[in-house]
Chain A
Amino acid sequence: MNEREEPRLSAREMVERLEPSLGIGRRVRAVAALVAGVAGALFVVALWWSEPGPLPGRTQVAFGMFTAFCLVWACYGGWLVRRRVPLFATDRVIAAWIGLAASAATTVLAVVAAVQRGAAVPWPVLAVGGLFVAAALALVVRAHGRRAALLRRLRELGGERER
């Protein structure tokens, strides 16, 4: 048995090996998959629901597949964010704002699409969109709260960053 009593990797090499998990690209991809998946699913469902006339079977299947595809991406993004890619406090604030912007934009687009298709006031679209915007807003508040708590704790510990 090798009796080596020192780690083979230096601290710098260890940090380099952790880079793939820490890289900005991976975090952006994870958040983008989550946001695009949710927004896409919401938009496709809004289009599907607001179709004025009865749809042929194939079109129904196509809408269903689009929705499922978007939901798969949303689940994948959620899994990445939750399990694989560390989102630190500042990253979470940025991600939450991206989520809020995407929710608001998707809701507006879905409402516009529904109105163009003849719905006077598309209440279901507004309700679902409002729900997503509210959830995204809650995430923004939570992310800011968490970051503020960490900054507060840092000040208490006297470890404020030099500015």
Chain B
Amino acid sequence: MTDEVLVVRAQLGERAALAELVARWRVPVWTYVRRMLDAERADDVSQEIWLAVVRGLPRLREPGRFAPWLFTIARRSVTDRLRGQYAREPETLTAGEATAEDPVEAMVDRAGLISALARLPLLEREVLVLHYLEDLSVEDCAQVCQVPAGTVKSRLSRARRLLRAHLEEGDRS
């Protein structure tokens, strides 16, 4: 059963469909939050996110776009917890910078990515998590992060570069 069917059924008031949505998206949401925060806060923030999802679900106009909507809510909750830190993150690249195809792409496997992620700046870490771990498209990431697609691409590009540096550093040590 697709997410859209589950969302529509939940919007009609079917409790089982809502439970199924929670079961399906609980771990991805927690994983995203965990990559941005520590494990203890991840549990609390995940619960906040699901509460906001339940409250907002009746007003979701495009059930087919559940995932980006869900991560937009998740991002808002994470941002609330990181307020200040997020604001200070420098935007070092200009929006619209081309995404260069990079050999490091091949190195971006999940295990390596996870261990190196914590060392990336927040904004770059966020797009990596959304794009690679949660499999959201660049357009969906742009919607979640409320920035143009070009900015997402430039953050991804910078994130990959930083990641490569960290991975190479790890290999040397």
Inter-chain contact B47/A89, CB cutoff 8 Å: no
- Give chain B's interface residues, CB within 8 Å of chain A: 1-2, 4-6, 8-15, 18-19, 22-23, 26-27, 30, 34, 38-40, 42-43, 46-47, 50-51, 54-58, 63
User: In the complex, which residues of chain A have a beta carbon less than 8 angstroms from the beta carbon of B5?
Assistant: 154, 157-159
Stretch at the interface among A8-16, A47-55, A61-69, A113-121: A8-16
Inter-chain contact B39/A91, CB cutoff 8 Å: no
Among B10, B13, B19, B43, which residue has the most Cβ atoms of chain A within 10 A?
B13
If over half of B's interface residues share one DSSP class (helix, strand or loop), that class is named, otherwise mixed; here it is helix
| Known contacts A7-B42, A88-B12, A92-B58; 14 further A-B pairs (Cβ under 8 A) | A2-B40, A7-B46, A8-B43, A14-B22, A15-B19, A18-B22, A18-B54, A22-B15, A83-B55, A85-B55, A88-B57, A151-B12, A153-B8, A158-B5
Inter-chain contact A150/B8, CB cutoff 8 Å: yes
User: In the complex, which residues of chain A have a beta carbon less than 8 angstroms from the beta carbon of B34?
Assistant: 5
Task: Give Cα A159 to B4, complex, Å.
Answer: 9
Inter-chain contact B46/A9, CB cutoff 8 Å: yes
Task: Give Cα A152 to B27, complex, Å.
Answer: 31
Could you tell me the distance in whole angstroms from the C-beta of A70 to the nearest C-beta in chain B?
Answer: 26
Give the interface size bracket for A toward B: 35 or more
Name the one of A4, A22, A154 contacting B39, with C-beta atoms under 8 angstroms.
Answer: A4
User: In the complex, which residues of chain B have a beta carbon less than 8 angstroms from the beta carbon of A17?
Assistant: 47, 50
